[in-house]
């Protein structure tokens, strides 16, 4: 689930106007919350009595805030009225306005303490980082002009760079007086503790509200805290400009950090399980070039995909009398890629998906011939950006189970039992349009009319059936990778064969089954045509 967030630059005491603008935007956009970067209040050294009056109205609830708004220390001390309010009211200034304190001893003083940085760096990651000063060297490797009219860059701090480099936030917001600056996104190299994926940071520095040239002071974005880090680096992304210092960090700069976390809701990437690096093509079980590949299971090799019989198949050669072999088949892309959508080359991606569908169709044609329309089939896939080498599993099922809706129901009920999200009926093609990982089940039954094969488009129960069920997967629940096999094992009364590891065969038997399949599939195998 993604949340819309609004980020506001320095307000410097003009909150009556700014909050009213925020409320108007919120009415149209329903933000989850707003964050203020830099000073919310005017500098107590130069503030006037109208500032004090406005603070009084704020505290007494006369300024309406329709959404939670968070602010932190900027460069100035907080006004005395606000400090008193915070002392008595644990962080809430008025309804919906919250102060996010650092961990310094005097938490209302804008002084960076070594403890703050240490505590924050102890956290393993964050989605949003807010600092009122810039990280050192942030413009290195960037082609974006900071200020075409000349003018000074804000202070850069090595300790802020260290913090950003270790937290690897998705967004790092800062302030730059009268100027707005957004750097090209940059990626952090994978580390031993987080080997999967390259986290990407967007550094955005907002102008103050009401700057002389009316530069951008407000920024809205959506974030899905549960999404995995990108596997594909978006175009325009640069390497990280940040280098971790080995030097002792400065101790007396004016600095405040906030790693944004409200009830942990936006900091999900914390306790990720340690995982070994994903297998390379040489180690992969599905790459044709790999020495680990079980070559005796291969039954057909096309241009962009190939077929193998399944190791430890769910069905046996006795499951379906019309078929003399197990018929649990894998359709595998030749490209080593965790999902179809992550095949970078658009043409290769299309050709791969099309050929996998063509293999599926050929398998259906084979069933139609041998089982005289008594068998339908399910083809399922777990598409995860963090996967290794995607593939489809194909298994025949009695046509009656498909026609009576029992196959669909079996998937839906099991998902409900597992408290997974709800299945949707939709065709996601090669998955490029999907924003999350997903599980899909393609359910097919042949037309049972004498003409056979083709769907005729009306609601006749003897028409062919071709349904695609899709279950979105995200990191908020643990998805069982054996889900598809488990559902079908229960449905087909093959509970004893739930786990492939329990269904091992001798290599001789595996070879004999693969040969029997090849013989049956021969006349449908387009890879044999020349």
Rounded-to-integer distance, Cα 438 and Cα 72, Å: 38
In the list 2, 3, 14, 261, the residue contacting ligand NAG (rule: CB under 6 A) is 14
CB neighbour class for 308 (10 Å; exposed up to 12, middle 13-18, buried from 19): buried
Minimum distance from residue 286 beta carbon to Zn ion (Å): 5
**Does 342 participate in binding ligand NAG (rule CB under 6 A)?**
no
According to DSSP, residue 528 is labeled: G
According to DSSP, residue 97 is labeled: E
In the list 25, 284, 406, 512, the residue contacting Zn ion (rule: CB under 5 A) is 284
Strand segments, DSSP code E, in 339-407 are: 375-383, 392-398
Minimum distance from residue 504 beta carbon to Zn ion (Å): 22
**Does 23 participate in binding ligand NAG (rule CB under 6 A)?**
no
3-state secondary structure of 390: coil
In the list 119, 357, 432, 448, the residue contacting ligand NAG (rule: CB under 6 A) is 357
Q: What would the x/- binding string for ligand NAG be over residues 461 to 490, using CB under 6 A? A: -----x-x----------------------
3-state secondary structure of 326: coil
Task: Tell me the site size for Zn ion, rule CB under 5 A.
Answer: 5
Q: What would the x/- binding string for ligand NAG be over residues 429 to 458, using CB under 6 A? A: -------------x------------x---
- Closest to Zn ion by CB, 334 vs 489, is 334
Helix extents (H) in 155-249: 158-167
Residues from 377 through 436 that contact Zn ion (CB under 5 A): 389
**Does 513 participate in binding ligand NAG (rule CB under 6 A)?**
no
- Closest to ligand NAG by CB, 128 vs 443, is 443
**Nearest-CA neighbor of 139 among 183, 198, 192, 187?**
183
**Nearest-CA neighbor of 106 among 71, 155, 73, 69?**
73
**Does 147 participate in binding ligand NAG (rule CB under 6 A)?**
no
The token pair at 122 is 């102890």
- Closest to ligand NAG by CB, 13 vs 376, is 13
Rounded-to-integer distance, Cα 185 and Cα 195, Å: 20
Minimum distance from residue 361 beta carbon to ligand NAG (Å): 7
**Does 54 participate in binding ligand NAG (rule CB under 6 A)?**
yes
**Nearest-CA neighbor of 509 among 322, 313, 344, 244?**
313
- Closest to ligand NAG by CB, 198 vs 331, is 331
The token pair at 86 is 């915070």
- Closest to ligand NAG by CB, 275 vs 426, is 426
Sort strands 156-157 and 134-135 into parallel, antiparallel or unpaired: parallel
* Per-residue buried b or exposed e for 404-413, using 16+ beta carbons within 10 Å of the residue's own CB: eeebbebbbe
Cα of 68 vs its chain's centroid, Å = 25
- Closest to ligand NAG by CB, 50 vs 295, is 50
Q: Which stretch binds ligand NAG (CB under 6 A): 50-58, 74-82, 209-217, 469-477?
A: 50-58
Rounded-to-integer distance, Cα 53 and Cα 20, Å: 17
- Closest to ligand NAG by CB, 116 vs 355, is 355
Rounded-to-integer distance, Cα 504 and Cα 499, Å: 10
**Does 425 participate in binding ligand NAG (rule CB under 6 A)?**
no
Q: Which stretch binds Zn ion (CB under 5 A): 221-229, 283-291, 438-446, 468-476?
A: 283-291
- Residue 389 interacts with which of ligand NAG, Zn ion, none, CB < 5 to 8 Å by class: Zn ion
**Does 81 participate in binding ligand NAG (rule CB under 6 A)?**
no
Q: Are 455 and 466 within 8 A, CB to CB?
A: yes
Cα of 10 vs its chain's centroid, Å = 31
Q: Are 117 and 257 within 8 A, CB to CB?
A: yes
Rounded-to-integer distance, Cα 176 and Cα 147, Å: 10
**Does 16 participate in binding ligand NAG (rule CB under 6 A)?**
yes
Minimum distance from residue 466 beta carbon to ligand NAG (Å): 4
Minimum distance from residue 281 beta carbon to Zn ion (Å): 5
Q: What is the contact surface with ligand NAG in residues (CB under 6 A)?
A: 13-14, 16, 50-51, 54, 357, 427, 442, 455, 466, 468
Q: What is the contact surface with Zn ion in residues (CB under 5 A)?
A: 284, 286-287, 336, 389
């Amino acid at each position: 689930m993604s949340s819309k967030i609004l980020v506001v630059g320095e307000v410097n005491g003009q909150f009556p106007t700014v909050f009213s603008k925020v409320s108007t935007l919120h009415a149209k956009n329903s933000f989850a919350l707003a964050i203020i970067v830099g000073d919310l209040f005017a500098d107590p050294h130069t503030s006037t009595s109208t500032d004090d009056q406005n603070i009084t109205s704020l505290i007494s609830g006369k300024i309406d805030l329709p959404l939670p708004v968070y602010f932190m220390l900027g460069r100035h001390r907080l006004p005395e009225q606000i400090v008193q309010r915070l002392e008595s009211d644990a962080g809430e200034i008025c309804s919906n306005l919250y102060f996010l304190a650092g961990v310094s001893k005097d938490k209302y003083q804008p002084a960076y303490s070594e403890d703050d940085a240490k505590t924050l760096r102890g956290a393993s990651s964050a989605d949003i980082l807010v600092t009122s000063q810039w990280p050192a060297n942030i413009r290195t490797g960037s082609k974006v002009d900071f200020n075409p009219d000349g003018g000074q860059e804000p202070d850069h701090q090595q300790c802020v760079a260290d913090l950003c480099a270790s937290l690897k936030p998705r967004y790092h917001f800062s302030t730059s007086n009268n100027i707005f600056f957004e750097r090209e996104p940059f990626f952090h190299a994978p580390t031993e503790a987080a080997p999967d994926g390259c986290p990407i940071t967007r550094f955005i520095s907002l102008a103050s509200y009401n700057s002389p040239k009316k530069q951008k002071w407000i920024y809205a974005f959506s974030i899905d805290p549960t999404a995995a880090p990108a596997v594909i680096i978006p175009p325009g992304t640069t390497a990280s400009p940040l280098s971790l210092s080995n030097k002792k960090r400065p101790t007396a700069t004016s600095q405040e950090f906030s790693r944004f976390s409200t009830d942990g809701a936006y900091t999900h990437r914390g306790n990720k399980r340690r995982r070994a690096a994903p297998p390379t093509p040489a180690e992969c079980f599905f790459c044709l070039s790999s020495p680990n590949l079980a070559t005796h299971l291969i039954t057909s090799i096309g241009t962009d995909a190939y077929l193998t019989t399944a190791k430890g198949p769910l069905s046996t050669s006795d499951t379906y009398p019309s078929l003399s072999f197990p018929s649990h088949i894998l359709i595998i892309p030749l490209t080593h890629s965790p999902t179809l959508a992550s095949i970078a080359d658009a043409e290769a991606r299309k050709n791969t998906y099309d050929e996998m569908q063509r293999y599926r169709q050929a398998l259906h044609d084979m069933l139609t011939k041998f089982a005289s329309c008594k068998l339908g089939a399910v083809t399922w896939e777990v598409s995860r950006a963090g996967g290794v080498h995607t593939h489809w599993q194909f298994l025949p099922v009695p046509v009656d189970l498909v026609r009576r809706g029992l196959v669909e129901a079996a998937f839906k009920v099991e998902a409900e039992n597992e408290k997974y999200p709800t299945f949707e009926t939709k065709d996601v093609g090669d998955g490029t349009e999907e924003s999350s990982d997903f599980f899909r089940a393609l359910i097919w039954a042949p037309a049972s009319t004498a003409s056979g094969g083709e769907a005729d488009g009306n609601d006749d129960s003897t028409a062919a059936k071709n349904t695609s069920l899709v279950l979105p997967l995200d990191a908020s629940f643990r998805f069982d990778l054996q889900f598809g096999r488990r559902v079908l094992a229960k449905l087909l009364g093959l509970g004893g064969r739930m786990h492939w590891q329990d269904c091992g065969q001798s290599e001789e038997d595996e070879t004999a089954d693969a040969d029997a399949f090849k013989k049956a599939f021969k006349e449908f195998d387009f890879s044999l045509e020349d």
